[in-house]
Amino acid sequence: MSRKNKQKLELTWIGKENRPKLEPRILLEDPSRSYHASHRVKPDARPGEPGFPSDLFDNRLIFGDNLLALKALEAEFTGKVKCVYIDPPFNTGQAFDHYEDGLEHSLWLSLMRDRLELLRALLSSDGTLWIHLDDNEVHYLKVVMDEMFGRECFVSAIAWRAADSSNNDAKQFSIDHNTILVYSREPGWLSRTLPRTDEANAHYKNPDNDPRGPWFMGNVSSPHPREKLQYDMPTPSGKQIPHPHNGWRWSLDLARKKIAAGQIVFVDDETRIIHKTYLADQKGLAPSSIWHDIKQTGHNRQAKYELKKLFPDKPTTELFSTPKPERLIERVLRIATKEGDWVLDSFAGSGTTGAVAHKMGRQWIMVERGDHCHEFIDPRLRKVIGGQDKGGVTDATDWKGGGGFRYYNLAPSLLEKDRWGNWVISKEYNAEMLTEALCKLEGFAYAPSETEYWRHGHSTERDFIYVTTQPLTRDMLAKLSDEVGDDCTLLVMCKSFRGKASFPNLTVKKIPNAVMAKCEWGQDDYSLEIRNLPEPEPSADDEQANTSPGKTKVLRGKRKPKPSSGNEEPTLFPATEGSSKAKASGAKGARR
Ligand SMILES: C[S@@+](CC[C@H](N)C(=O)[O-])C[C@H]1O[C@@H](n2cnc3c(N)ncnc32)[C@H](O)[C@@H]1O
């Protein structure tokens, strides 16, 4: 097939081509909600020293829609995040009672694709993204992820045992696992190893009292046929042991060294060799793709129990309904990160990822748009920081308390419509916010200078930005041009300017006109609030699907609600999900 006709393997869906043009919002810290320990535990620890990192105060909890939040993080965090773990709504169908299957899957895929593209850009070159799903969407998302990351960046599809007991009432299968897809930012990512377990060490024995300790009978043959390794092994008494089909594992030279070192020994009649692999020489364990040991990676019921212990006064029915166990996240972070690395969870739920990252000395960012951000995440992290959380992985990580986090809201849209329908700068913006927002929009790092009034940010060492709401005259521009000098350039964003003049080191733009076309303004909800969509119309004449966000209108008969499993999936991306208010699940026996 000619290269021209080569077709890409891809999944298509309704609305795949629609992409929101996101406004890069600024984040506003609310100091009254930020929290940190009263003293730093090990303020002077340096990388490599015990106790590093010292108390981490600058973790971030962002309240709001994660699409806008991820866009807001882009300027500061592109290429900096070592591990993204997300556990989005699985799309079990309960949010889409009124929609046909094709459309609901399409919407879910579009919502996820938009977020995953931003998440991928935030990853460092040695970073990985872990996405926790179940059978409802995992296979579709795998194809989409292959398209976004490249198939060569697919690392594994981990089967995590989510249920501690099977469901005997299941009519087909009791679905007891979830799948965690792992992708790396770049091909060839190398996993960290896990600490050795007693079970793995039990394979090593010492039947001959070898002074080097327990050993295991290792493989002696080459994994692939190699002519050079296909020699007969000379024995101490001069016999020859024929090589295995593919050849030995070592060249003759190396085999001789191992014989001399006692790592290769001959059985009494010299008809076989034994390759001794010593426990003392073993490094950590390569992670397996099956996580079935509930003692090591927890299970769903345990996660709820952990939360109950943290919030003993809350009735069980009011607890966050789909938390993940701390041990599961600990395993992820052990494989993907080291102390001090940035970890991000943009579907934070009850805050498990941040809690575990904190206890493990990683820096974290969490985004959550539901009220449980205040009901669970905030108090949970305060308990972790205050050393009052005694559960989860506290003992395993030897966590004693410390550190802190900053709490952020997303700023409102920079532009709003005035009473005549014209876009104007939002009344909620003060001069500082306006400057920061324009820096972000124009790709400048916001860094106001204390000495030069016109230096509000920079894109390079010699390229600066100045934002002002003042009208500028020709004389003012001339003075600015002088101050900037011939070696530097300045982007001037002002409300208006008078006098036609061109200064080679100045680019003058008017706000808001200059930024109007950059993105969508005044758009706060990219979550597609399913519950607010129109009710189904009785007519069956509904072929036309308009899938642009907010306009969806393909309404065929209601799905038959399935009986509640008692393990409800939160609805898809709504504002106040995740609580026990979730509707009856249509999940196919899947349990979280
Ligand atoms: C399954 S829960 C995550 C549970 C979490 N792993 C834990 O251990 O608690 C999914 C979360 O994603 C949140 N979510 C859904 N859509 C969102 C959006 N557009 N922006 C931010 N959070 C969102 C929901 O509110 C819910 O809390």
Tell me what pLDDT residue 352 has: 98
**Contact between residue 61 and residue 405 where contact means Cβ atoms under 8 Å apart:** yes
Domain locations in the chain? Answer: 26-195+286-410, 198-281, 415-518
Tell me what pLDDT residue 489 has: 97
Rounded distance, CA 28 to CA 20, Å?
23
**Contact between residue 266 and residue 276 where contact means Cβ atoms under 8 Å apart:** no
| 323-358 per-residue burial string, b: 16 or more CB within 10 A, e: under 16 | bbbbbbbbbbbbbbbeeebbbbbbbbbbbbbbbbbb
Maximum Cα–Cα distance for the chain, whole Å?
Answer: 102
**Contact between residue 338 and residue 107 where contact means Cβ atoms under 8 Å apart:** no
* Ligand 1 center to 585 CA (angstroms): 17
Q: Any idea which residue has 């046909």 for tokens?
A: 100
**Contact between residue 390 and residue 306 where contact means Cβ atoms under 8 Å apart:** no
Nearest CA to ligand 1 atom 22: 368
| 488-516 per-residue burial string, b: 16 or more CB within 10 A, e: under 16 | ebbbbbbeebeeeeebebbebeebbebbe
Tell me what pLDDT residue 566 has: 38
* Ligand 1 center to 304 CA (angstroms): 15
Tell me what pLDDT residue 6 has: 72
Atom of ligand 1 nearest to the CA of 592: 1
Q: Mutation test of ligand 1: which of 22, 369, 580 has the most ligand atoms closer than 8 Å to its C-beta?
A: 369
3-state secondary structure string, 336-402? HCCCCCEEEECCCCCCHHHHHHHHCCCEEEEEECCCHHHHHHHHHHHHHHHCCCCCCCCCCCCCCCC
Tell me what pLDDT residue 545 has: 35
DSSP 8-state symbol, 408: E
State whether the beta carbon of 370 lies less than 6 angstroms from ligand 1.
yes
Rounded distance, CA 306 to CA 413, Å?
38
* Ligand 1 center to 347 CA (angstroms): 4
Rounded distance, CA 549 to CA 543, Å?
18
**Contact between residue 490 and residue 472 where contact means Cβ atoms under 8 Å apart:** no
Residue 575: count other Cβ atoms within 10 Å of its Cβ.
14
- Domain 415-518: give its CATH code: 3.40.1350
**Contact between residue 348 and residue 366 where contact means Cβ atoms under 8 Å apart:** yes
Nearest CA to ligand 1 atom 17: 573
- Transcribe 74-128 into DSSP letters: HHHHTTTEEEEEE------SGGGTTS-HHHHHHHHHHHHHHHHHHHHHHEEEEEE
Nearest CA to ligand 1 atom 7: 323
Same fold, 26-195+286-410 and 415-518: no
Would you call 121 exposed, middle or buried from its count of C-beta atoms within 10 A (0-12, 13-18, 19+)? middle
State whether the beta carbon of 324 lies less than 6 angstroms from ligand 1.
yes
* Ligand 1 center to 65 CA (angstroms): 10
* Ligand 1 center to 490 CA (angstroms): 42
Q: What is the dihedral sign for C-alpha 383, 387, 390, 393?
A: positive
Tell me what pLDDT residue 52 has: 62
Q: Which amino acid is at 221?
A: S
Rounded distance, CA 415 to CA 421, Å?
11
Q: Which amino acid is at 352?
A: T
* Ligand 1 center to 348 CA (angstroms): 5
Q: How would you write the pLDDT of the chain (592 residues) with one tens digit per residue?
A: 555 667 788 999 988 999 999 999 999 999 999 999 876 656 666 666 665 666 688 899 999 999 999 999 999 999 999 999 999 998 887 666 556 666 688 889 999 999 999 999 999 999 999 999 999 999 999 999 999 999 999 999 999 999 999 999 999 999 999 999 999 999 999 999 998 888 889 989 999 899 899 999 999 999 999 999 999 999 999 999 999 999 999 999 999 999 998 899 999 999 999 999 999 888 899 999 999 999 999 999 999 999 999 999 999 999 999 999 999 999 999 999 999 999 999 999 999 999 999 999 999 999 999 999 999 999 999 999 999 999 999 999 999 999 999 999 999 999 999 999 999 999 999 999 999 999 999 999 999 999 999 999 999 999 999 999 989 999 999 999 999 999 999 999 998 887 666 899 999 999 999 999 999 999 998 876 554 444 444 444 443 333 333 333 333 333 333 434 434 443 344 333 333 333 333 334 344 5
- CA geometry: angle 20, 24, 28, nearest 5 deg: 135
Query: What is the value of pTM for the model shown?
Result: 0.83
**Contact between residue 119 and residue 575 where contact means Cβ atoms under 8 Å apart:** no
Atom of ligand 1 nearest to the CA of 372: 27
Query: Within the chain, how many helices (H) and strands (E) appear?
Result: 13, 23
- Domain 26-195+286-410: give its CATH code: 3.40.50.150
Atom of ligand 1 nearest to the CA of 376: 9
State whether the beta carbon of 178 lies less than 6 angstroms from ligand 1.
no
